[in-house]
Chain A
Amino acid sequence: MNAIIFSAVWGVLMMYTGFFVKSRNTINLIAIAGIVLLIICNVHEFISGMSLFSIDTKGMLFHSNFGLVFLLIILISTLMYFLLSGNDINAAGKSSSDLYALIFFILSGIGVVAGFKSLLMLFLGIEIVSIPLYVLAGSDKSNLKSNEAALKYFLMGSFSTGLMLMGITLIYGDTGSFYLDAIKAGLSVLTPMKAAGLLLVLASMAFKVSAAPFHFWTPDVYDGAPTVFTSFMATIVKSVAFYAFLHLFDNAFGNLHEDWKNLVAVIALLTLLIGNITAVFQQSVKRMLAYSSIAQAGFMMLAILSLNVFAKQGLLLYFAGYSIATLGIFAVLVKMKDHSVDAFNGLSKTNPIIALSVLVSLLSLAGIPLTAGFFAKYYMLLAVIREGHLMWLVVTAVLCAAVSIYYYFRVIQAMYFKEPTNILTLEFSSTFKWMMIINAILIIILGIHPDIILSLI
């Protein structure tokens, strides 16, 4: 509850700083201060178990420990995002304070999603996250690609919201309540109306997390949106959509697990295959990362498929590992004018520290041991194995992880085994280098001690 209120207030504050503060670095610092404040409030709520505000939400919002840990991971990722890409957010628009304000409003929506107990709050939370994102995707107003990305994202996003609302309505018609607990109690037998509602909600959630066959908007939107905001969309917002997916299907539709399990298995299989195989053929690193985010979504779908204790813990680890690694790569990509693989040629000779950090991030995405990505993938597979009789999916997932090594290592090969071709050598500030080192250290710490996150729940 703390996070929702403070981020909304801080968002309003950020809007007004645009009037009074002219220096962009100061605005960046105010935003970082806001995130630090949010983290402190959130940790306080986690430790004391009490919110600073007592608001009667009629049981529609309740932040469990799981939700608070998820919120903490999101806030720390956002802090890393601000530290790594703060200067690029400043450069993205005429008034960076507005962009920061939108990001804080998104965080407020994330707070709602983290604790929803009623379908009304799910709908509101997802919309509060989505609407500012449409604006961020189109923030480069004169660039046609950014316009196109914003329009596509907007049309697809509101279309999937329409599907979700119809699903919610049909479920309400059958069970007579919007509360997750009441729905769970009322859903023991599948009637046609429930089945239709469940399918519509499943389709719309698959849209939001960009799982196949509803992934087609993702590459275009991620490619067209300004790179700074692509990195936000591909990491933090994707984690939020997955959290909502898991929370909804666990707490509301858990009793019908046997009925929708096979459908989710097919979606996970398609997502893994399409994401990984298409990523192999991409020439642009930005587009490759878009497909890689679809491929990683396939792995995260395994958690929704199995819904056991390993799945829930592993998914949080996955959020942390995936978000931090992807943010690191995007932060470097933003600085490059050219987004093709060749732009990375010889980076290890010109900027060894940056190249090493990108290397760690890429290894983590590929799931190499000693990085966060390894344990994240391990827990996903473990969760499915515990469920039993889906071994074909586990085998495919492992093979897909092997395929993913090819396209991640192409960037590594360009960095380490090719001669620098860039005539303009990239200049990185020493602060940025330190941030990249911290980023890489975080990935390795999570890879050696995943208990840091797992023991919290």
Chain B
Amino acid sequence: MPINYYIFLSVCLFSIGIVGVLTRRNAIIIFMCIELMLNAVNLLLVAFSRMHHAAAYALDNSTLVGSEAQIFVFFIMVVAAAEVTVGLAIIVMLYRNIHSVDINFLNRLKH
């Protein structure tokens, strides 16, 4: 499959994520949209990794080109997991105080 399909798919997913972050009011859903953005990136990284690998493989069949993007994906997963632990803890802390996860509540600081 040409690389354009992958780019199109991940840009779609990424845009859905951005639109979700900007329009939804529920903290958990915003959070899921951010995860969607990260996973769109993961998908695109793997696709690019395959593309660069295939190009280098034609010249030299012992090449490691492209493997660094796969490693990057693992790092993104680890960091996303760390963010989830902190983020959910913050949302739970908020829920304990106001019994809601609606971010419209959060406009007390504006004055």
Contact partners of B31 in chain A: CB under 8 A:
155
Residues of B within 8 A of A152 (CB): 106
Q: Which of B17, B51, B68 has the most CB of A within 10 A?
A: B68
Contact between A123 and B14, CB atoms less than 8 A apart: no
Which of A143-151, A314-322, A394-402 lies at the interface with chain B?
A143-151
Decide if the interface of chain B is mainly helix, strand, loop or mixed: helix
Assuming the contacts A151-B91, A172-B48, asked whether A145 and B108 have C-beta atoms less than 8 A apart, the reply is yes
- Contact yes or no, A166 B30, CB < 8 A: no
Q: Which A-B residue pairs are the 8 nearest by beta carbons?
A: A162-B37, A173-B48, A220-B109, A165-B41, A148-B106, A176-B52, A147-B94, A127-B79
Not counting A131-B82, A165-B38, a sample of 14 additional A-B residue pairs whose C-beta atoms are within 8 angstroms of each other reads: A120-B68, A120-B72, A123-B76, A135-B86, A138-B93, A151-B106, A154-B86, A158-B87, A159-B21, A161-B38, A161-B83, A166-B37, A166-B41, A173-B7
Given the complex, which residues of A lie within 8 Å of B76, measured CB to CB?
A: 123, 165
Residues of B within 8 A of A220 (CB): 109-110
Rounded to whole angstroms, the CA-CA distance of A356 and B68 in the bound complex is 55
> What residue of chain A has the Cβ atom nearest to residue B46's Cβ?
A169
Residues of B near A124 (CB, < 8 A) are 75, 79
Separation of A163 and B79 alpha carbons in the complex (Å): 15
**Residue positions of B touching A, CB distance < 8 A:** 3, 7, 14, 17, 21, 27, 30-31, 34, 37-38, 40-41, 44-45, 48, 51-52, 65, 68-69, 71-72, 75-76, 79, 82-83, 86-87, 89-91, 93-94, 97-98, 103, 106, 108-110
Q: Is A173 a contact partner of B51 (Cβ separation < 8 A)?
A: yes
Q: For residues 181 through 235 of chain A, which have their beta carbon under 8 Å from a beta carbon of chain B?
A: 219-220, 223-224
Given known A-B contacts A123-B75, A124-B75, A134 and B38 have beta carbons under 8 A apart: no
Contact residue among A142, A150, A162 (Cβ-Cβ distance under 8 Å from B41)? A162
Q: Is A243 an interface residue (CB 8 A)?
A: no
With A120-B68, A120-B72, A169-B48 as known contacts, state yes or no: A145 contacts B90, CB within 8 Å. Answer: no
Are A155 and B86 in contact, with the CB atoms below 8 A? no
Interface residues of A, count at CB 8 A: 38
Instruction: Kindly identify, within residues 112 to 136 of chain A, every residue whose CB is under 8 Å from any CB belonging to chain B.
Output: 120, 123-124, 127, 131, 134-135
27 A-B contacts (beta carbon < 8 Å): A120-B71, A120-B75, A123-B75, A135-B89, A141-B93, A147-B98, A148-B108, A149-B109, A150-B90, A151-B91, A151-B94, A154-B86, A154-B87, A155-B27, A158-B34, A159-B34, A161-B83, A162-B37, A162-B41, A166-B14, A166-B37, A166-B44, A169-B41, A172-B45, A173-B51, A219-B109, A224-B109
